[in-house]
Amino acid sequence: MDNKLHYAHTFFCSHLAAVGRASEVQAADKRWQAEKPLTREAYERLSSIYYESFIDSLMQVDGQTSGAVYADTAHLTLETDRLCTLRHPKLPAAEYAFRLCRFHLFFFPYDICLFAMEIAEEPETTLDTLIAAHGILRETSCYEIAEQGILKSQIDAPEYLALLEEILRLCPPRPSAESPRQGRFSGLTLTGNKLKCFQIFILDDFSDELLFELGTLSPVGCVADHKHEYSPSQEYYDRIIRTHTISAFRNWKALALVDSFTVVAKGRTAAQMWV
C-alpha cells in the first residue's frame, strides 16, 4: 500500500492549569483575538440541535446577555504561523519540521481553561517521523528533567518552546499545579499526563492497520509484523477496530480513543474532506 502523506493537520489539546480570564490575556497581548459572537440566525439553527443552555455555556450570542455563570466564557485565538523544528534521539530522521499555525484558549465557568495548538505537517514528512514526533511533543512532562536540582531540556525545539513559554507567561499555572520534577511546562496538563491529540491525514490509500498505528502512535507496519515489540495482540487489535472506529463513506475512517481522535482519508488536498 502506498501511504504517501499529502496532508496532515494536528491539534494538541489539554486542560490548562491556569488562572485568569480572557480579558486579562487580551489586555496583556493585543494579538489574541476573541471569537465573534454567534448571529441570532446561527444560534436558532444550533438550538434546534442542542439545548440552549449547552450553547450558552460554550459561546457568546450577538445581542444576548449571558447569565452570570457564563459571563467569562470566551474563545481566544493567536495566529503564529511559525516554522519550528524538533531534534530528538527518538526521531528516525535528523529533524522534524512543522508549522505551528495558531494557539487557542477556551475559557469556561469555574476557572476551567482549555488549550489547543494547531500544527500543519510539512509534505515531505514520513509517517514514521510524524508518529515519533507526535509522541515526543505530547509528553510535556518529559520536556525537561531535574538533575541535581537543575532543570535540563530533553528536546531540541527552540522556536516551539519559546512560543509555549509565551502562553504560560500569559496564563500562569496555579501554584498547586507546579512541580519541580516536571519543570516549566507542567502547567500545560492539569489533568492527565500528556496532551490530547486530534489528527487528520490525507493519503493515497489507508487500511485499518494504518489507522490503528496512527491513532495509537505506533510504528508503521507493527500490526502486521508480529515480531515487532509494539505489535498488538489480535484480540486487542480486533476489539479496538470493532468498537472504536467510525465510518460513513468509503473514502475516510476515524478512530476514537481516550486521548486521541484520528481521521484517515483518501485524496490529495484538504478541500476534498468534509471533516
Q: How far apart are CA 71 and CA 254, in angstroms?
A: 35
3-class secondary structure, 90: coil
3-class secondary structure, 135: helix
Give the model's confidence band at 269: pLDDT under 50 very low, under 70 low, under 90 confident, else very high: low
Interval 5-21 mean pLDDT: 85
Q: How far apart are CA 214 and CA 255, in angstroms?
A: 9
For the question of whether the overall pTM of this predicted structure is more than 0.75, the answer is yes
- Residue 171 backbone dihedrals phi, psi, to 5 degrees: -125, 75
Residue 26: HSE in the Cβ half-sphere, 13 Å Cα cutoff: 14
Q: Which three cell numbers stand for residue 109?
A: 465557568
Q: Is 271 a residue whose pLDDT tops 60?
A: no
CA separation, residue 162 to residues 88, 158, 168 (Å): 17, 6, 10
- Residue 61 backbone dihedrals phi, psi, to 5 degrees: -120, 135
pLDDT value of residue 256: 97
Interval 34-58 mean pLDDT: 88
Query: What is the percentage of the chain residues whose pLDDT exceeds 70?
Result: 89
Give the model's confidence band at 265: pLDDT under 50 very low, under 70 low, under 90 confident, else very high: very high
**152 vs 112, residue with greater confidence:** 112
CA-closest candidate to residue 268, choices 174, 199, 205: 205
Rounding to the nearest 10 degrees, give the CA dihedral for residues 193, 76, 43, 272: -70
**CB within 8 Å of 6: residues ≥ 6 apart:** 123, 202, 203, 204, 267, 268, 269
CA-closest candidate to residue 11, choices 90, 128, 106: 106
Query: What is the percentage of the chain residues whose pLDDT exceeds 90?
Result: 49
Encode pLDDT of 140-155 as tens digits.
888 877 776 677 778 8
pLDDT value of residue 111: 80
Instruction: Give the amino acid at 166.
Output: E
Q: Is residue 83 exposed (0-12), middle (13-18) or buried (19+ Cβ within 10 Å)? A: exposed
pLDDT value of residue 199: 94
pLDDT value of residue 178: 46
Paired with 203 in beta bridges are 5, 266
Q: What is the CA radius of gyration of the chain?
A: 20
Q: Are 219 and 228 in contact (CB under 8 A)?
A: yes
Encode pLDDT of 204-225 as tens digits.
889 999 999 999 999 999 999 9
